[in-house]
Amino acid sequence: MADSRQSPATEPLILALDQGTTSTRAILFDKAGHALGEASRPLAQHYPADGWVEHDAEEIFRASVDVLREAVSGAGRQMSEVAAIGITNQRETVVIWDKATGAPIHRAIVWQDRRTAQACQALKDAGAEAEVTKITGLLIDPYFSGTKIAWLLDHVPGARARAEAGELLAGTMDCWLIWKLTGGAVHATDATNASRTLLFDLRGQAWSRPMLDLLKVPQALLPEVRDCAGDFGETAPEFLGRAVPIRGVAGDQQAALMGQGCVRPGEMKATYGTGCFLLVNTGEFAPVSQARLLTTVAARVQGRTTYALEGAIFIAGAAIQWLVEGLKVGSPAEAEALARQARADSGVVMVPAFTGLGAPWWDAQARGAIVGLTRDAGLAEISLAAFDACALQTADLIEAMRADAPQAFQAGSELRIDGGMARSAWFAQRLADLTGQAVARARYEETTALGAALFAGLGAGLYPSLEAAAAARPQTDPSAPQSSAPARQAARTRWRAAVARVSSGAA
Which domains can be identified in the chain, with CATH numbers?
A: 13-251 (3.30.420.40), 260-507 (3.30.420.40)
Confidence of residue 357 (pLDDT cuts 50, 70, 90): confident
Decide if 222 contacts 231 (C-beta within 8 A): no
Whether pTM > 0.85 for this model: the answer is yes
Instruction: State the angle between helix axes of 379-404 and 317-326 in degrees (0 to 180), rounded to the nearest 10.
Output: 160
pLDDT digits (tens, 9 = 90+) for 89-107: 998 999 999 999 999 999 9
Residues 6+ apart with CB under 8 A from 461: none
What per-residue confidence (pLDDT) applies to 411? 58
Residues 6+ apart with CB under 8 A from 184: 102
Give yes or no for residue 264 having a pLDDT over 50: yes
Question: How many CA atoms does the CB half-sphere of 168 hold within 13 Å?
Answer: 24
Residue 252 burial by Cβ neighbours in a 10 Å radius (0-12, 13-18, 19+): buried
Q: Is the pLDDT higher at 29 or at 4? A: 29
What per-residue confidence (pLDDT) applies to 468? 92
Confidence of residue 507 (pLDDT cuts 50, 70, 90): very low
What per-residue confidence (pLDDT) applies to 38? 95
Confidence of residue 274 (pLDDT cuts 50, 70, 90): confident
Angular region, 139: left φ>0, alpha ψ -120 to 50, beta rest: beta
d(CA 79, CA 84): 10
Percent of the residues in the chain that have a pLDDT greater than 70, as a whole number:
97
Residue 474: strand, helix, or coil = coil
- Residue by residue, DSSP assigns 283-349 as ET-----SS-PEEEEEEEETTEEEEEEEEEES-SHHHHHHHHHHS----HHHHHHHHHHS-TTS--E
Sign of the four-CA dihedral 159, 126, 109, 230 = negative
